[in-house]
């Protein structure tokens, strides 16, 4: 689904001493099928932005369009239900929202609310646990007996069982160990491709933004600071530092190699192995005078 | 009082009798002025170690000695004076309505005289760079600032050991940097040992020693360099190695000879610089 923000502003507690403009005149668009990373330091407006994607918040000014659903400042914004069926949001620490007696019941909760038939729910549940890599024999266990990583997969399965077309992920790897982080991110990457989803990833990890996104949006003080492909964005080291963001380690290292060793090296999406090959060649004096 | 150290002697722990052991025969010693990083996959027993260290839990087998004193129901309050702990979630560790009250809370529990408390509040808040925030409400601070106040509250009691249990995991990169700078500063200025439980590989490379946990057992102890030079094994138990360490491996495979396992950009760049100038 195409997503468009058209001059969107959002103000928390307007006309009170606590008035806070979290989004300010924000405009951007996301093509259906893209994998977009939203980055920016804490308080830059990322969370407010994603809460507009399934109508948890409605713009104070401007217009948000997701597929053919329109959220406007004025007016009632009907069909929110349809919107929420299409946009699945995995919030931070989603396992904190588990509540049912069994894993199966927890996964079924969302689709049941939307009136999906039991047979269809069963089918979707099996698909969802398969997609998230949970063994089927966990379905009748209590979600609270599982490990943290498994609980998170149960929560994600619940979102997937809604069959969303847009998947919104708010720091989905926070608190997981390195291999858990890698597993969860490659799972989302696979789902994105296989199901033709539009994926919006909010992350503090520049490494994940570089590895998985095809487009990056940088937020700062509720405004769009910059957007582009990962390669475009991460070439601008100074601009990123100005808004307290890092660059991915591989790009930082390459820039140090250029400066300190006077070796002409550039990041073009190489794997570590490719980079090592190029670097080894150039350290030996190859490539410079040829 | 014995010597200044935390010692685990053949410690085993499980939450309930019908549940599997979370820690199995764990032994190690942490001495004065050390910075020890404890790493391991989720569920490897890292946080249980932290909780045993300051008597939030007690082991079924083996014993834990803090400065030679055995940790049990009777000694737990003395132990907690020596072992402070910062938890993962910055929102779960505040009791005071102002930063100052919050820092005072721990000291009040230990019955310190008022003049000393006033002095310690000043000292510990300035050690973490939060002296300007004395009368601020803790819940309005950023995540990084909250964790710095939590560290100040512990410093105020003047412990010998501080445990940071994934204290940076819920913070953004800026908050993480704040905490790491604070920790560096505190460790330099104060006479204390640090125990950090973390998944952050940059934090690990800065420690003086690493204890690697796997399925409730101590899998390896050594310097960060020793640990990351055993990459294949580290990856096998669900951990990752730093980017620089991976790159060094691939460089070696390309026939570049490196004198030692590099831990950071600086070290690898220096080696490459030497190689380049001798070519």
Q: Residue B279's pLDDT band (boundaries 50, 70, 90)?
A: low
What's the CA gap between A257 and A279, in Å, rounded?
9
Given a cut of 90, is residue A41 above it in pLDDT?
Answer: no
Contact B173 A245 (CB under 8 A): yes
Residues A16 and A55 occupy one common structural domain: yes
Helical axes B114-127 vs B143-157, angle rounded to 10°:
140
Query: For the segment B207-224, what is each residue's pLDDT rounded down to a tens digit?
Result: 999 999 999 999 999 999
Shortest alpha-carbon distance between residue B109 and chain A (Å): 31
pLDDT tens digits for A107-166? 999 999 999 999 999 999 999 999 998 999 999 999 998 888 889 999 999 999 999 999
Q: Are A219 and A44 in contact (CB under 8 A)?
A: yes
Whether A272 and B269 lie within 8 Å, measured CB to CB? no
Residues A215 and A287 in one domain: no
A144 and A269 share a domain? no
For residue A79, give how far its alpha carbon lies from the nearest alpha carbon of chain B (Å). Answer: 35
The whole-number pLDDT of residue B42 equals 80
Range with top average pLDDT, A195-209, B121-135, B139-153: A195-209
Write out pLDDT tens, residues B259-270. Answer: 888 999 999 999
Same structural domain, A99 and A237: yes
Average pLDDT of B106-111?
A: 87
Q: B250 and A42: CB-CB below 8 Å? A: no
Strands, E assignment, A69-221:
69-72, 87-90, 166-170, 198-202, 215-220
- Band of residue A290 on the pLDDT scale cut at 50, 70, 90: very low
Could you tell me the CA-to-CA distances from B171 to A33, A37, B142 in Å, in that order?
A: 30, 18, 9
Is A178 close to B143, i.e. CB distance below 8 A? Answer: no
Beta bridge partners of A217: A38, A227
Q: What pLDDT is stored for residue A287 in this prediction?
A: 56
Q: What is the CA radius of gyration of chain A?
A: 21
Which residue, among B141, B256, B264, would best test binding to A if mutated, counting the most A CBs under 10 Å from its CB? B256
B272's tokens: 């490459």
Q: Are residues A172 and A267 in the same domain?
A: no
> From CA B238, how far away is CA A180, in angstroms rounded?
8
- H or E, element range at B209: strand B209-214
Domain range holding A283?
A: 248-290
Tell me the pTM.
0.84
On whether both A191 and A260 belong to a single domain, the answer is no
* pLDDT band at residue B101 using 50, 70 and 90 as cut-offs: very high
Statement to judge: residues A132 and A151 lie in one domain = yes
Judging contacts by C-beta atoms under 8 Å, the chain B residues touching residue A246 are 173
We report the CATH number of the domain holding residue A78 as: 3.40.50.300
Q: How many CB pairs under 8 A join A and B?
A: 100
pLDDT at B169 over 70: yes
Q: Is the pLDDT of residue A172 over 90?
A: yes
Q: In angstroms, rounded to a whole number, what is the distance separating the alpha carbons of residues A247 and B31?
A: 37
Tokens of A147: 């490990």
When scoring B37, B41, B204 by the number of chain A Cβ atoms within 10 A, the one with the most, hence best to mutate, is B41
**Residue position matching structure tokens 């300010």:** A24
- Count how many residues are written for chain B: 279
Whether residues A201 and A122 share a domain: the answer is: yes
Identify the weakest region by mean pLDDT among A103-107, A178-182, B150-154: A178-182
Q: Are residues A221 and A290 in the same domain?
A: no
Mean pLDDT of chain B: 90
**Domain shared by A34 and A91, yes or no:** yes
> How many other CB atoms are found less than 10 A from the CB of residue A187?
17
- Are A41 and B174 within 8 A, CB to CB? yes
- Looking at the structure, do residues A190 and A215 belong to the same domain, yes or no? yes
Q: Per-residue pLDDT for A262 more than 80?
A: yes
- Domains of chain B, with CATH numbers? 6-233 (3.40.50.300), 242-279 (no CATH)
Q: Do A246 and B243 touch (CB under 8 A)?
A: no
| Number of compact structural domains in chain A | 2
SS3 A262: coil
Q: What angle do CA A202, A204, A210 make, to 5 degrees?
A: 80
| pLDDT for res B121 | 94
Q: Is residue A145 located within the same domain as residue A156?
A: yes
Q: Which residues contact A55 (CB under 8 A, 6 or more apart)?
A: A69, A71, A77, A80, A83, A84
The torsion angles phi and psi of A268, rounded to 5 degrees, stand at -130, 30
**Chain position carrying tokens 């990056």:** A216
């Amino acid at each position: 689904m195409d997503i468009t923000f058209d001059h969107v502003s959002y103000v928390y507690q307007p006309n009170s001493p606590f008035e806070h403009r979290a989004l300010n005149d924000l405009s951007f668009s996301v093509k259906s099928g893209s994998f977009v990373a939203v980055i920016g330091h804490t308080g830059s407006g990322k969370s407010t932005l994603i809460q507009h994607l399934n109508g948890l918040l409605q713009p104070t000014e401007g217009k948000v369009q997701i597929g053919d659903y329109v959220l406007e400042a004025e007016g009632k914004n009907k069909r929110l239900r349809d919107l929420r069926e299409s946009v699945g949001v995995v919030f931070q620490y989603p396992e904190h929202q588990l509540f049912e007696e069994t894993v199966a019941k927890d996964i079924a909760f969302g689709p049941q609310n939307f009136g999906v038939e039991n047979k269809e729910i069963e089918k979707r549940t099996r698909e969802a646990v398969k997609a998230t890599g949970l063994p089927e024999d966990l379905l009748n266990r209590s979600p609270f007996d599982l490990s943290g990583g498994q609980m998170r997969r149960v929560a994600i399965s619940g979102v997937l069982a809604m069959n969303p077309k847009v998947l919104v992920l708010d720091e989905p790897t926070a608190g997981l160990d390195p291999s858990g982080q890698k597993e969860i991110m490659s799972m989302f990457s696979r789902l994105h491709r296989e199901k033709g989803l539009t994926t919006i990833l909010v992350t503090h990890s520049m490494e994940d933004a570089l590895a998985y996104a095809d487009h990056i949006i940088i937020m700062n003080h509720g405004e769009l600071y910059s957007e582009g492909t990962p390669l475009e964005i991460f070439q601008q080291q100074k601009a990123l530092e100005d808004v307290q963001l890092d660059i991915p380690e591989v790009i930082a290292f390459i820039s140090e190699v250029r400066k300190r060793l006077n070796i002409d090296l550039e990041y073009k999406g190489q794997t570590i192995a490719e980079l090592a090959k190029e670097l080894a060649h150039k350290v030996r004096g190859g490539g410079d005078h040829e | 009082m014995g010597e200044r150290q935390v010692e685990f002697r053949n410690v085993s722990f499980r939450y309930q009798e019908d549940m599997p052991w979370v820690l199995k025969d764990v032994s190690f010693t942490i001495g004065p002025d050390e910075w020890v990083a404890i790493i391991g996959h989720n569920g490897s027993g890292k946080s249980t170690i932290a909780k045993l260290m300051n008597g939030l839990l007690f082991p079924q087998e083996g014993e834990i000695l803090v400065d030679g004193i055995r940790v049990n129901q009777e000694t737990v309050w003395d132990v907690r004076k020596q072992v402070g702990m910062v938890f993962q979630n910055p929102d779960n560790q505040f009791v005071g309505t102002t930063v100052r009250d919050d820092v005072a809370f721990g000291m009040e529990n230990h019955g310190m005289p008022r003049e000393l408390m006033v002095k310690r509040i000043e000292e510990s808040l300035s050690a973490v760079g939060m002296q300007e925030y004395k009368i601020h409400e803790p819940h309005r601070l950023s995540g990084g600032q909250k964790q710095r106040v939590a560290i100040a509250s512990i410093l105020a009691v003047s412990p010998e050991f501080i445990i940071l249990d994934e204290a940076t995991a819920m913070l953004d990169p800026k908050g993480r940097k704040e905490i790491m700078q604070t920790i560096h500063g505190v460790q330099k200025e104060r006479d204390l040992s640090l125990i950090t439980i973390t998944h952050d590989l940059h934090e690990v490379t800065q420690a003086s020693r690493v204890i690697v946990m796997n399925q409730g057992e101590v899998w390896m102890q050594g310097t960060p360099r020793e640990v990351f030079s055993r990459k294949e094994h580290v990856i096998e138990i669900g951990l990752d190695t730093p980017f620089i360490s991976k790159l060094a491996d691939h460089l070696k495979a390309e026939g570049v000879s490196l004198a030692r396992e590099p831990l950071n950009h600086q070290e690898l760049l220096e080696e490459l610089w030497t190689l380049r100038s001798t070519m």
